[in-house]
Amino acid sequence: MNDTKLIDIASALGISVTTVSKALKGYTDISKSTRAKVIEMAETMNYIPNSVAVNLRTNETKTIGVIIPATVHHFFSSVLNGILEEAEKRGYLVIILQSNEKYELEKKQLALLIQKRVDGVLMSLSNETDDFSHINEAIRKNTPVVLFDKIAKRVDCSKVVINDAKAAFDAVSYLINKGFKKIAHFRGSYVPQNSIDRFLGYKRALEANGIEYDSKLVYVCDNNTDFEDGYENAQKIMNEHPDIDAIFAITDLVAIGIIKYFNEAGIKTPDQVAVFGFSNWFMSTVISPKLTTIDQPGFEMGHTAVSILIDEIADIKEHRPVTHQIIELPTRIIERESTVK
């Protein structure tokens, strides 16, 4: 536990702490000779600056916080990888917290992060969250926040998202163009923005193509930890509406539940009912038939969210005005077996 500190180097060299500090930080008012001596001594004494002391003095921690709503499975692991990579590249550490889709927890965790003096925070909202004062409060305290994926339009901060409505519109339009006529939608719960947007994209695509929207064909899947929800609703819809010929699912997980049921019940995919997923999760190539889906660029989303956040941190530090950006990452259809006859 023999941490060497500035004062150790200083007394070893018979100079002041100030000089040591300045030499190490490249101040120009230190002669080359003493600078060399200091650097060498720091080397041999294996000096490592105490980050906590530096943080206190400089009022920055070079750390960002990340709050994600769900477990680190699936889509969020891609985002996380993007976050970790970009943060490391820019010299920031990242603290991860999971809100488990709970508003209260999310609020508490955000408070904890700003208490810990992180320089900024990245967050994706919980399904429960419909009050955003905690976020505004953080921003007011000069801790920049950037929202990704599950965002709130009403919060004034940077956001990086995909255009869920457009992606869903494209997906359903694709199905219509393929000749499917009675297309159901397995949607998510009612509050998260992306659940709403995907639903709206579905509805608009129908209307744009002269197909009447039928609310009876919309089922709610609000469990996003396993595929049981998709499985059960597939069973249900085949009883209630056996004549559907396609389902647009809000996530690949739901879609896989559907396909699982269809495989077991002897319902042919895509011949009797086609299935379209969302997110391009890893397992969408594992299932048989392979799932047609929307590629959602998680890695890139993490990347750019970090990038924007760190830029804003710098802006605030330099007292520049910060301008919030809304970045919309492109999605694309990945056509596989579950929709091609």
Phi/psi at 94 (nearest 5 deg)? -130, 135
Is residue 146 close enough to count as binding a second copy by CB under 8 A? no
Going by C-beta distance under 8 Å and a sequence separation of 6 or more, which residues neighbour residue 4? 42, 45, 46, 47, 48
Is residue 115 close enough to count as binding a second copy by CB under 8 A? yes
**Element containing residue 121 per DSSP (H, E):** strand 120-123
Is residue 50 close enough to count as binding DNA by CB under 7 A? yes
Is residue 141 close enough to count as binding a second copy by CB under 8 A? yes
Q: In this structure, are residues 308 and 161 in contact, taking their beta carbons and an 8 Å threshold?
A: no
Is residue 51 close enough to count as binding a second copy by CB under 8 A? yes
In this chain, which stretch among 26-34, 132-140, 162-170, 260-268 interacts with DNA, using CB under 7 A? 26-34
Judged by beta carbon, residue 19 or residue 224, the one nearer DNA is 19
Q: In this structure, are residues 121 and 147 in contact, taking their beta carbons and an 8 Å threshold?
A: no
| Nearest-angstrom CA–CA distance, 191 and 123 | 17
In this chain, which stretch among 22-30, 84-92, 211-219, 306-314 interacts with DNA, using CB under 7 A? 22-30
In this chain, which stretch among 15-23, 24-32, 80-88, 177-185 interacts with a second copy, using CB under 8 A? 80-88
178 DSSP 8-state letter: T
**Element containing residue 334 per DSSP (H, E):** strand 332-334
Q: What is the closest distance, in whole angstroms, from the C-beta atom of residue 31 to a second copy in the complex?
A: 28
Judged by beta carbon, residue 115 or residue 177, the one nearer a second copy is 115
In this chain, which stretch among 25-33, 178-186, 191-199, 215-223 interacts with DNA, using CB under 7 A? 25-33
156 in helix, strand or coil? Answer: coil
Is residue 265 close enough to count as binding a second copy by CB under 8 A? no
Is residue 18 close enough to count as binding DNA by CB under 7 A? yes
| Nearest-angstrom CA–CA distance, 214 and 113 | 45
For the chain, count helices (H), then strands (E): 12, 12
Is residue 142 close enough to count as binding DNA by CB under 7 A? no
Q: Which residues bind DNA (CB under 7 A)?
A: 3, 5-7, 14-19, 21-22, 24-25, 29-35, 47, 49-50, 53-54, 56-59
